[in-house]
A and B are shown apart, each in its own frame.
Chain A
């Protein structure tokens, strides 16, 4: 089956530090990959996505590159801000074998909490 593994948190960084949150996946097909962000007291928001190998998703200074050879989709940001403090979820969308042809199953990682201190 499909699975997503993220680095354990929490991650605490100083403002303007470099961020990497590791994400690796297993999938039976050719999945699309996503990063979602959950700010305190809010639901999940789509941060960025990549739909095929070597694609780079980017948004708000965050980037992640779809690496098929290493089955990874690590999230990076060059200079974090206090406002980036949140929980980050890696997810994949792959053809579902249990819900019928043409449908995709979304699988989430457990989430990584990031705290950025001034």
Chain B
């Protein structure tokens, strides 16, 4: 365990479904991140939250909707996804927003859209 917990580990959903990914950290970190990892592509930063406020949204389609109710929890709400959205979704946290100490990653949620 790294201190960042993601659930579920695996998720299969249809294109018309609505589901949510959950991320939880109890490291006392103030910033949390969503990344998308697709095969043969670099890690893509999707969203950044600092002290529960969204500070970055990197041109992500609106079918992905993040939520950060407190500094320990981060959600990614999914609806009407496409097959190309199938990927590993990684959550990460850091002490401060984009600080220089490195990030702590969760184990990811493997999402398959059918």
- Which of B14-22, B61-69, B70-78, B92-100 binds A? B92-100
- Tell me which of A18-26, A59-67, A97-105 binds B: A97-105
Interface contact tally, CB-CB below 8 A = 52
Question: With A99-B56, A109-B42 in contact, do A46 and B102 touch (Cβ < 8 Å)?
Answer: yes
Contact with A along B83-106 (1 / 0, CB 8 A): 000000010100001111011111
B43 & A43 in contact (Cβ 8 Å cutoff)? no
**CB neighbours of B6 from chain A (8 A):** 43
How far, in Å, is B12 (CB) from chain A's closest CB?
16
How far is B103's CA from A108's CA once the two chains are assembled, in angstroms? 12
- Inter-subunit contact B108/A42 (CB<8 Å): yes
- B contact set with A: CB distance below 8 Å: 2, 4, 6, 40-43, 45, 55-56, 90, 92, 97-100, 102-108
